[in-house]
Amino acid sequence: MLIVSDIRENKSEFIAGLEKRGLANAKALLDEVLVLDEKRKSTQTHLDELLAESNKISKSIGLLMKEGKQEEANEAKNKTSDLKNQTKELGQILEETKQLLEDKLYHIPNIPNLEVPAGKSEDDNEVLFTVDKLPEVGEDAVPHWELIKKYDIIDFDLGVKITGAGFPVYKGKGARLQRALVNFFLDEADRAGYAEVQPPVVINEASGRGTGQLPDKEGQMYHITDSDLYLIPTAEVPITNLYRDVIIDEKDLPIKNVGFTPCFRREAGSWGSHVRGLNRLHQFDKVEIVQVQHPDKSFETLQEMVDHVEGLLKRLGLPYRKLKLCAGDLGFTANITYDFEVYSAAQKRWLEVSSVSNFKTYQANRLKLRYRDVNNEKHLLHTLNGSALALPRIIAAILENGQTPEGIKIPAALHQYAGFETIS
């Protein structure tokens, strides 16, 4: 959530940032925010004045009674009664104004960093790095959705039987490959200093609002209506919400967590090979890294997290490219995002496997997540997160790029975790 004082002080920059995202009505939106904030402040000031006057008069009533000034005491009582009605009305107006202001801010996205390139869609993302040579597979190479049937390692039909489309069943070496990747990613995060947590995979509305999934992404999340809970779209949500309403001592920064969870997304996806098989699922597993960091160090931390993800892809030997997302493709809460994509040799296309983002104070302001400095003053923190990594498309790339006439060779980094070197 944007900070109103920052909007007031740097209004032109905020307008430019939102327009960069494609919001044509940016000026009108921010004007509404500032008008509501002025109303909030003036109402609060008036309310405080009336409360002070009421307290002063109330204290005088006893003294007037002692002095035998009954008529003046009765007038004072009537005055306090009138003031009570006024303060009650002003209190209601104040709460309504605060709610309107908060709702307005909840629907305004984060401002993109100056480094974020202009653009409207993924076609305008800036490619920062591409592997020198793409893998070549034989003419008889097939996409992963055929390979998984050939080797009987993932079953979509069983998933449909049990649940529905987009909920695959991993079997045999498919399940073991999945587990090998999870353990590899977790061990690498542990070596990088991330403390592992196992958070709930169901969240309440406050958690969804805290990290910005609500009210922006209701349609993408599975909602348990009778208890008003949501299945998580990513471990970022419960892990970051561990620190909602928390004040952290500056000396304890940074906070680094990693978590492995299933993730649930309702996004439907259209027909075509780009959403076939493992390319897009309603349930998938992911290892997520999260950091809570001092504002002065968050961009150094962002680079550290980007390097961590890049290191994982190098260890797996997967051909990848790194992109900086343009403003039009930037997530609602992000200030800047780097994406990683792996190359699928059989599909001859790039598959997104990770996003690494710095949200600056946007999430922290919603979460009321702050740190206490050496002078005992409190300031908002910066939050960051990254996929390290999402499994389905990693598995798709491993299967397609590793296929040989003798079977599918898996990356050497996974041999000790999987207990096998080839799927045959």
State pLDDT tens for residues 205-217: 999 999 999 997 7
Do the Cβ atoms of 309 and 356 come closer than 8 Å? yes
Q: What is the pLDDT of residue 71?
A: 84
What is the identity of the amino acid at 340? Answer: F
Would you tell me which CATH number, out of the four given (1.10.287.40, 2.30.30.100, 3.40.50.11930, 2.60.120.260), belongs to the domain 4-106? 1.10.287.40
SS3 398: helix
Q: Cα–Cα distance between 64 and 194 in angstroms, integer? A: 67
What is the Cα 170 distance to its own chain's centre?
A: 27
Do the Cβ atoms of 261 and 232 come closer than 8 Å? yes
Mean pLDDT by 10 residues, the chain (424 residues): 98 98 97 98 97 91 83 87 94 98 97 97 97 87 96 97 96 98 98 98 98 88 96 98 98 98 80 76 97 98 98 98 98 98 95 98 98 97 98 97 96 98 98
Question: What topology does CATH give the domain 122-423?
Answer: BirA Bifunctional Protein; domain 2 (3.30.930)
State pLDDT tens for residues 322-353: 999 999 999 999 999 999 999 999 999 999 99
What is the identity of the amino acid at 280? Answer: R
Question: Tokens at residue 209, please?
Answer: 């609002």
Element at 283 (helix H, strand E): strand 283-293
Q: Where are the domains of the chain?
A: 4-106, 122-423
Give pTM, 2 decimals: 0.94
Residue 397's DSSP bridge partners are none
Angle at 336 between CA 331 and CA 338, to 5 degrees: 90
Q: What is the pLDDT of residue 274?
A: 65
Question: Tokens at residue 222, please?
Answer: 């599975």
What is the identity of the amino acid at 316? Answer: L
Exposed, middle or buried, 421 (CB in 10 Å: 0-12/13-18/19+)?
middle
Do the Cβ atoms of 122 and 329 come closer than 8 Å? yes
Q: How far apart are the first and last CA of the chain?
A: 51
- Same CATH fold assignment for domains 4-106 and 122-423: no
Q: Is the dihedral of CA 301, 339, 386, 218 positive or negative?
A: positive
